[in-house]
Amino acid sequence: MDDVDRGLLHRVAAGDQRAFEELYVRHGQPLLAYAEGLLGDRGRAEEALQDTFLATWRGAGSFEGRSTVRTWLFGICRRQALGRMTGHRPAPLPMEAAAEVPAGEPGPEAVALARADARAVAAALAELAPAHREVLDLAFGAGLAHAEIAEVLGIPVGTVKSRLFHARAGLARALPDNTGLGRPLPERAALGRTLPDGTGCGRALPDDVAAVGVSGREAGP
Amino acid sequence: MTHPSHLLAEFAAGTLPDDRAGRVARHVADCPGCAAELTGWHQVAGAVGDRVAAVAVPSPGLLAGVLSRLAPHRAGAPGVPRYAAPLGGAATRRAVRILAAQRRLVDRRVWLVAAVVLAVGTAVAGWAPPGISEQVLAIVVPLVAALGVAGACGSGTDEAGELVAASLTGVRAVLLARLTLVLGAIFGAASVASLGLVWFDAGTPLVLFAAWLGPMALLSAVSFALSVLWRPAVGIGVAMVLWVLRLLAGANALDGTVDGLVEPLWRTSAPLLLVAALLMAGTVVLLPHLPAGLGRRAYGR
């Protein structure tokens, strides 16, 4: 996939308009969806998309291949969209506590989400903090790998993972009938600890889960 | 297998590499806990996917709008954008601004080392009896200038290199600004030191200035040319070789032929200054025309 993109971008750098149009066909829609998610407005999202591709045309020669072409395009699009945000830039997230990565036991959010119907989840999506919606968009809408998201957002991969968990928790909290999800759940951690290992789904953490960050409590809202 | 909780989101998004995805799938098949987690992620992925899919494909008019605004491309030459003007009207003001910008970009250690060595050298010169003072300056000042120029102008020495490459200011202007800045500062400091020594009756101004001016110009020109066109280590190396030869000649450790070769380099004469100036000017003129690879990291071609 990226080989094709690189070939196209190489031709764009040489001034090939055909290749440019092909690049637009391949990535225009996901980029527009991403911009629209950021800006919440079709018109301004379209402007951001146009500027993204103008910048791509101008900057194709300076692409250094340190990331995938797709990551590069999303990075440009993000800058264009952020530059277009009038007044209400999304407040930076409060310090991102390491998300609890549940091991083996399904978290209450997962259970609540699994039970909820699709329309309720879609409605909850609209309630989400912009930064959380953005990371969900990149992961599940644009289909970027976590390493790519980390590059687009300029944050470590571990933060991408924990932000996704926070986003999912926020989504579950925004569901109707979500009593109990908003508060820290010490009893859940206790439950995890008392589960015996070796039952197939006991509390066993791989090393790199620990790297993502495991806290004993649910991070507060 | 331990629970792959941290991989489930990527697994649900379908962005996990095949081998890891296979392992996760096998685990989830046997683990109700992870399966429930995964269902939660699938719900998220479905909702986000639906929302994104609902965004209409950009209209053809949008692409037409972009195409109509494309500037013609010079094939294969994105290059360094040229300085255009908005830095400010008059040429002198522009020059001052470029100099000020470079002052911030030159590695702070260059200034620190130059200041310390010059201060120590001046102190030693002041303490030495008249007649020796100028010899001390003739040893110290050229060395400081050669090292400073290599450190500030050499290719690839500079963390701000990418910034420089992306700036609107042309390659030559940046290089000239750095050279002017470093040599100017060292020249100024050495002049102050010499006048201070005159004040303390350590020598006459003419003798003191003549002792270091010529060798400073030549050594820094050699160091500059090699640092920019090749790399700083080469510039510093050649300058150091000349410097050490001169030290040894001064200590009568070498035979007469080497003395005869090195000694003229440590005299302030018109031909010597001319050679130094030509060397520097030639380097600045040549730089943009060199094949890629030479000096390219710092000056972005």
If one compares A34 and A188, the residue with the highest pLDDT of the two is A34
DSSP state of A178: -
**Cα torsion through B116, B118, B124, B126, rounded to 10:** -130
Contacts of A199 in chain B (CB under 8 A): none
If one compares A184 and A43, the residue with the highest pLDDT of the two is A43
CA–CA min distance A34, chain B (Å): 8
Q: Where are the domains of chain A?
A: 2-84, 108-200
DSSP string computed for B125-173: HHHSPTTTHHHHHHHHHHHHHHHHHHHHHSTT--TTHHHHHHSSS-HHH
CA–CA min distance A164, chain B (Å): 8
Query: CATH number of A2-84: 2.60.40.180, 1.10.1740.10, 3.40.190.10, 3.40.50.12780?
Result: 1.10.1740.10
Q: B94: burial class by Cβ within 10 Å (0-12, 13-18, 19+)?
A: middle
Helices first, then strands: H and E counts in chain A: 11, 0
pLDDT averaged over chain B?
A: 78
Alpha-helix runs per DSSP H in chain B: 8-13, 18-30, 32-54, 60-68, 91-105, 108-127, 133-153, 161-166, 171-199, 205-229, 232-250, 256-262, 270-286, 296-299
Q: How many CB atoms lie within 10 A of CB A40?
A: 14
Contact B48 A168 (CB under 8 A): no
Q: Is A43 on the interface with B (CB under 8 A)?
A: no
DSSP state of B80: P
Read off the pLDDT of residues A69-119 as tens digits, 9 standing for 90 and up: 999 999 999 988 888 886 655 555 655 555 555 555 667 777 888 888 888
| Residue of chain B minimizing CA distance to A30 | B52
CA B151 to chain centroid, in Å, comes to 7
Contacts of A165 in chain B (CB under 8 A): 9
Read off the pLDDT of residues B123-157 as tens digits, 9 standing for 90 and up: 888 887 777 787 888 888 888 888 888 877 765 55
CATH 3.40.190.290 fits A108-200, yes or no: no
DSSP string computed for A116-168: S-HHHHHHHHHHS-HHHHHHHIIIIIS---HHHHHHHHTS-HHHHHHHHHHHH
Nearest to B13 by CA among B43, B56, B55: B43
Rg (CA), chain B: 31
CA A69 to chain centroid, in Å, comes to 18
Three-point CA angle A63, A67, A71, nearest 5°: 95
Contacts of A125 in chain B (CB under 8 A): 47-48, 51
Which of A143-157, A183-197, B222-236, B275-289 is predicted with the least confidence, judged by mean pLDDT? Answer: A183-197
Question: Torsion-angle region of residue A195: left (phi > 0), alpha (psi -120 to 50) or beta?
Answer: beta
- Tokens 């079709």 locate to A42
Q: How far apart are CA B260 and CA A148, in angstroms?
A: 64
Contact A139 B46 (CB under 8 A): no
Reported as a pLDDT band with limits 50, 70 and 90, residue B81 is very low
The residue length of chain B stands at 301
Alpha-helix runs per DSSP H in chain A: 2-13, 17-39, 42-59, 69-84, 108-115, 118-127, 130-136, 146-153, 157-174, 186-194, 207-212
ipTM field: 0.74
Q: Is A40 on the interface with B (CB under 8 A)?
A: no
In this complex, the residue of A104, A168, A172 whose CB is nearest that of residue B33 is A104
Q: How far apart are CA A178 and CA B254, in angstroms?
A: 90
Contact A140 B12 (CB under 8 A): yes
**Residue among A9, A136, A140 with most chain B CBs within 10 A, to mutate:** A140
Reported as a pLDDT band with limits 50, 70 and 90, residue A32 is very high
